[in-house]
Amino acid sequence: MKKSTKKKATIYDLSVLSGCSASTISAVLNGTWRQRRISESTAERILGLARDHNYTTNMQARGLRSSQSGLVALLLPVHDSRYFSSMAQTFDARVRERGQCPIVISTCRDPKEEYQTVETLISYSVDTLLIAGATDPDSIHRLCKEAGLKHINIDLPGRSGPSVITDNYAGAVELTWSIINSFSDDDSITPSDIYMFGGRDDHNSRERNRGFRDVKDAHFKTKTEETIVPTGYAPGFAQKAFEEFYETHGNLPRGIFVNSSINYEGLLRFMAKHPPETFENLVIGCFDYDPFGSFLPFQVTMVRQDVEKMIDRAFQLIDAGEMTPRTYLIPPQFVPQRTALTGPLDLLKDVP
Amino acid sequence: MKKSTKKKATIYDLSVLSGCSASTISAVLNGTWRQRRISESTAERILGLARDHNYTTNMQARGLRSSQSGLVALLLPVHDSRYFSSMAQTFDARVRERGQCPIVISTCRDPKEEYQTVETLISYSVDTLLIAGATDPDSIHRLCKEAGLKHINIDLPGRSGPSVITDNYAGAVELTWSIINSFSDDDSITPSDIYMFGGRDDHNSRERNRGFRDVKDAHFKTKTEETIVPTGYAPGFAQKAFEEFYETHGNLPRGIFVNSSINYEGLLRFMAKHPPETFENLVIGCFDYDPFGSFLPFQVTMVRQDVEKMIDRAFQLIDAGEMTPRTYLIPPQFVPQRTALTGPLDLLKDVP
DNA sequence: ATTGATTGCACCATCGATTGTGCAATTTTG
DNA sequence: CAAAATTGCACAATCGATGGTGCAATCAAT
């Protein structure tokens, strides 16, 4: 019983077909018909008609009227990292559970793109916005606030809104200890054996740096010299940093704290240019979990940021209307070598 | 010069402020003012006002009127795989270049979610839809067609619309040869040494299976027995398949063609339960590229599906209005062991 | 049988932008 | 200088759904 006319059915079409007014149709179809005292029988009749003509609500019209959209957006620096893609996967699932429509957008860490994208999202009346790793959270916060858009920072904190982030310090401390403890006592290491690569001058990097330094200082019982090489987040820059270190010293540091899985890819690029033996005794600690990265042929421990808890907490705060600029820390999970965690990928509705 | 009232400026606000009519404002702001013979001076004045009051178009209103949205959507089975996340990354970049707004949504390979999601997207008047790995492309095609939504299949072909997919057969052939050729001549292998794990009964798997069989038959100069273990796409099922094989045979096959990077994660889970020595002489060929997966401690070659070309071709076809149900094959890229390709991640606008 | 409450729905303005049409004022043409 | 052409803009209908308000019909109560 499908209309062969190309156009989609509207409440007006159903209005004519049913003999009811458009407002009645509207009420029935959006579920408010009980409050509007539409009789059960008319409701059923209309719902039947709607099914037959496979009516679907025009969300633009509804959105225009109600200035809502049912869309919930996640703003990502990049898609192509297992940290962010697992975040997207979890986000999608959670938003669907809430009966809304999840959309995910990346901005390549470009502040201009970020700003414009948020403006666009606002113009679509997106209901809620999760901002992951914004480079300039505060100006985005201002935008959202002016538009009355519920939003929250994930991963990187902002000064003006609530933020749910990983406990970077705690994670860095654990990771650094695990690197140091990988070396047996008789195989003595010096402060210059342990380096940190990656990151830049953002909150997360600073906290990770602090954890790294504190543990080094505690272990070597002295204020150790600077062994942190910030490279930004792009893999190419990290690669260059490894190359330079290698050229200067003739080898890599014996233990390396890698600031993120994207920086870890910089190490991959370095590895591709050097024989496997170069890495036989390497000890890596990576802040971020990548399942394949956990099985590389050297000692590698990882820290998995708990995206599920972060997303859940974010929605709790949003539902509670909490907009105070507070930062909520989520403890990350320490991941030993050769570990394949189950994750959002297991949400696949697939048959064996 | 910002209005302190919370509400966003509309063309009517600007209309009052400028003394012009709303239609004039509209024309100026959407760029059609020349055709509507609005004088340059009024245009400039209005544009100035718009800037001062930081006007932005309400896309829901525009969309309602013009039944367009400026949104371009990519439907993904899952986010959390480097194949799909690199596809998303490339997609985002391309759509931005076209001045539209990219949105990415995953459906967990759930046909019901897929269908509903497409319905939702239609109700938002999404302009264009790229469908990656739909489980039921044809019913989705029908939906889109009825709604007049421009769409195209990526990755998995549909019978009713145009499809841009990887040349799975060619990729599988190359990959299988590379597995076989990894064994030196004096280290003779038998047909039962080479297995294929993963995939199920979809077009891509069938083509990959065919390539695998053809090469095996050619190499062993005989119709070889069945050595394909379909497991579906979920990592958990693949893991189970490896476990079962191992229990039955006491070892893994010497050479394994893994159907996808997600199945490869099933192998990871298996690996986590067995000592590293188990895998020392393993030869893996994986259909899909994962940078970390390329550095695992055994021989592993991969096939990278060329997402850039796929996306580009898809947009070409869409722009050309090509809606004939034809399948366009994109040759994949063979990736040797220990290779770290640059990719969409390098789009990161980051500073060293 | 009258009054009052309740049921069941229709009417209509509204959200913000787009666009076909009309018309006065100005400029050009002959 | 009158007619024709052009310029510059205003008017109003429209996209599809929402929700406040109003009103007739039915039912209950006195």
The residue that leads in pLDDT, A319 or B135, is A319
pLDDT of B43 over the 60 cut: yes
Question: What Rg value do the Cα atoms of chain A yield, rounded?
Answer: 26
For residue B74, how many C-alpha atoms fall within 13 Å in the half-sphere facing its CB? Answer: 33
Task: Classify residue B347: in a domain, yes or no.
Answer: no
> Is residue A111 assigned to a domain?
yes
Answer whether residue B82 is part of any domain. Answer: yes
Q: B119-139, pLDDT tens digit by residue?
A: 999 999 999 999 998 888 889
Output the CA angle B37-B40-B43, nearest 5 degrees: 90
The boundaries of the domain holding residue B100 are 68-161
pLDDT value at position A131? 95
pLDDT above 50 (res B284): yes
B185 and B154 within one domain: no
Give yes or no: residues B228 and B116 share one domain: no
Residues A137, A200 within the same domain: no
The pLDDT of residue B213 is above 90: yes
- Residues in chain A with CB shorter than 8 Å from the CB of B58 are 64, 123, 125
Q: Which of B8, B85, B114 is the best substitution to test chain A (most A C-beta atoms within 10 A)?
A: B85
Average pLDDT over every residue of B234-255:
96
Q: Is residue B331 assigned to a domain?
A: no
Q: Which residues of A touch B262 (CB under 8 A)?
A: 345, 348
Whether residues B72 and B33 fall in one domain: no
At residue B4, the pLDDT reads: 42
Residue B101 forms part of a structural domain: yes
Helix ranges (H only) for A183-290 are 203-220, 235-249, 261-272
Q: What is the pLDDT of residues A205-223, one digit of tens each?
A: 999 999 999 999 999 998 8
Residue labelled with tokens 């406990």: A167
Residue B56 (CA) to nucleotide D5 (C1'), in angstroms, measures 37
**Strand C nucleotides where any atom sits below 7 Å of a protein CB:** 7-12, 14-21
CATH code at position B156: 3.40.50.2300
Both B18 and B109 in one domain: the answer is no
pLDDT tens for B55-79 read: 999 999 999 999 888 899 999 999 9
pLDDT at A2 over 50: no
Rounded mean pLDDT of B104-109?
A: 91
Residues 6+ apart with CB under 8 A from A32: none
Query: Taking CA atoms, what residue in A is nearest to B236?
Result: A346
> In this predicted structure, what is the pLDDT of residue A352?
59
Q: Is residue A77 assigned to a domain?
A: yes
Domain count along chain B: 3
pLDDT confidence tier of residue B92, bands split at 50, 70 and 90: very high
Q: Supply the DSSP symbol for A284.
A: E
pLDDT in tens, B157-176: 998 889 999 999 999 999 99
C-beta of residue A258 within 8 angstroms of C-beta of residue A303: no
Residue B98 sits in the same domain as residue B155: yes
- B124 CA to D20 C1' in angstroms comes to 27
Answer whether B180's CB lies under 8 Å from B196's CB.
Answer: no
B112 and B42 in a common domain? no
| pLDDT greater at residue B135 or residue A295 | A295
pLDDT by residue (tens digit) across A93-135?
Answer: 999 998 899 999 998 888 888 898 999 999 999 999 999 988 8
Polymer length of chain B: 352
Q: Which of A279-288, B116-125, B299-308 has the lowest mean pLDDT?
A: B116-125
Residue A46 CA to residue A36 CA, distance in Å, equals 15
C-alpha to C-alpha distance for B24 and B43, rounded to whole angstroms: 9
Q: Which of A114, A133, A161 is the last residue of a domain?
A: A161
Same domain, B179 and B298: yes
- Residue B120 domain-assigned (yes or no): yes
Residue B346 lies in a domain: no
pLDDT average, residue stretch B274-292: 96
> Does position B245 have pLDDT exceeding 90, yes or no?
yes
Q: What is the pLDDT of residue B352?
A: 58
Is the same domain home to B90 and B157?
yes
Domain boundary among B161, B196, B223: B161
Last residue of a domain, one of A161, A181, A204: A161
pLDDT over 70 (residue B3): no
Do A293 and A257 have their domain in common?
A: yes
- Please report the pLDDT score of residue B31 as a whole number: 93
Distance CA A323, CA B107 (A): 31
The reply to whether the CB atom of residue A295 sits less than 7 A from any atom in nucleic acid chain D is no
Question: Can you give the CATH number for the domain in which A51 is found?
Answer: 1.10.260
State whether A72 and A130 are in the same domain: yes
Contacts 24+ apart (CB under 8 A), B26-29: B29/B55, B29/B57
Predicted pLDDT at A236: 94
Q: Is the same domain home to A80 and A129?
A: yes
Distance CA B166, CA B157 (A): 10
- Distance between CA atoms of A80 and B86, rounded to whole angstroms? 5
Q: How far apart are CA A342 and CA B236, in angstroms?
A: 8
